Amino acid sequence: MPHGFYCITLSLLLLAGIACNVGTATMPTEIQIEAGMVGFRPSTIEIPAGRAVRLVFTRTIDSVCLEQVQIPDLGIGPVTLPLNQPVVIEVTVPKAGAFQFTCGMGMTKGTLVVKR
């Protein structure tokens, strides 16, 4: 095969790789959180400031206390958590800090740690 063909093919593959990386760089991070027997797990979650994050809560226990989740300092919730069904909450926190998330009754707690 001619040398030019290889150069064009390599160039196209490199451009495709760059396009793929650009696309995935803007995708939000997804974090799975179980609302179950021991409360929220993980109970402490670290995320970067200013970046879109998808918190995916799944309630795995039939508990009235864990039927909802809220993040009061971010103006989120209460959001209903149906049993064994993932619920996505998208957040982008612009500043560093610690933000508590709780069940609907405020008894079960976790912390969203936002780092600069």
Domains of the chain (ranges, CATH numbers):
27-115 (2.60.40.420)
Of 48, 10, 57, the residue nearest 28 (C-alpha): 48
C-alpha of 33 from chain center: 9
pLDDT tens profile 18-57: 344 444 456 779 999 999 999 999 999 999 999 999 999 9
Of 86, 73, 81, 88, the residue nearest 104 (C-alpha): 81
Residues 28 and 88 sit within 8 Å (Cβ to Cβ): no
pLDDT tens profile 77-105: 999 999 999 999 999 999 999 999 999 99
Q: Does the pLDDT of residue 7 top 50, yes or no?
A: no
- Rounded Cα distance, 4 and 24, in Å: 31
What is the value of pTM for the model shown?
Answer: 0.76
